[in-house]
A and B are shown apart, each in its own frame.
Chain A
Amino acid sequence: SQTIHQWPATLVQPVGSPLSLECTVEGTSNPNLYWYRQAAGRGLQLLFYSVGIGQISSEVPQNLSASRPQDRQFILSSKKLLLSDSGFYLCAWSVGRLGKSHYEQYFGPGTRLTVT
């Protein structure tokens, strides 16, 4: 079965500090990978998605970046955090199946980031 891991679960960082959040998927190959941010009591905002190693698409301009060094590893980074970067960060994966062109996404447990 497939599993998705995110760490850390919670993080408190000062403004201006760097960030690195990691997501790994097990039990599947060539997944599509996604990073979302969720503000308190709000919906999910797609930040980045990746269809393969080294392939990153950005959905919103921001001081965040993403990388995919391995097939099942997705990393979210920042060189200098802003207060507005606080939120719940979710990683998700999806994979195509023969005959199906739209895929549900499977989410990780999330990382709660507080920038102080």
Chain B
Amino acid sequence: GESVGLHLPTLSVQEGDNSIINCAYSNSASDYFIWYKQESGKGPQFIIDIRSNMDKRQGQRVTVLLNKTVKHLSLQIAATQPGDSAVYFCAENTGTGGFKTIFGAGTRLFVKA
């Protein structure tokens, strides 16, 4: 079946640098995408979302970019901090209600002090 996948399973960055986490999706009908952050032993937390009619959306220190042409999604974290160390999941859903959210495998981000 179609699913969301991630290019890099792990990412290590220096504190203060910018981080970019990538995600590829295969379902062209997906119209809503979400990034979640999961810290060790905890449930995922919503970070930011983007609709398919947008190319870019910015939050606090985070930016999500959507390239529908190549079905690619990325999460940019500015001035990465040790507290950003976690596993990041991209997720997609289609149709109304968001009932069938498909999660990618996740990327583990390590921030070196």
Contact = CB atoms under 8 A, between A and B. Distances in A.
Nearest to A112: B41
Nearest to B33: A102
Interface stretch (A43-51, A63-71, A78-86): A43-51
A108 interface: yes
A92 interface: yes
A59 B93 CA distance: 14
Contacts of A103: 97-98
Q: Which of A44, A110, A112 has the most CB of B within 10 A?
A: A44
Interface string B77-89: 0000000000001
A101 B97 contact: yes
Contact of B43 (A42, A43, A92): A92
Q: How large is the interface on B (under 10, 10 to 19, 20 to 34, 35 or more residues)?
A: 20 to 34
Contact of A109 (B31, B32, B42, B100): B42
Contacts of A108: 43
A18 interface: no
Nearest to A101: B96
Interface residues of A, number: 27
Q: Is the interface of B mostly helix, strand, loop or mixed?
A: loop
Given A43-B103, A102-B51, A51 B97 contact: yes
Nearest to A105: B101
B97 A44 contact: no
Contact of B45 (A43, A96, A107): A107
Contacts of A32: 97-99
Contact of A94 (B98, B103, B105): B98
A32 B102 CA distance: 16
Given A43-B89, A43-B106, A49 B99 contact: yes
Q: Which of B32, B89, B98, B102 has the most CB of A within 10 A?
A: B98
The 10 A-B residue pairs with the shortest CB-CB distance in the complex, in nearest-first order: A107-B43, A102-B32, A44-B103, A104-B46, A43-B103, A43-B105, A103-B98, A102-B98, A101-B96, A107-B44
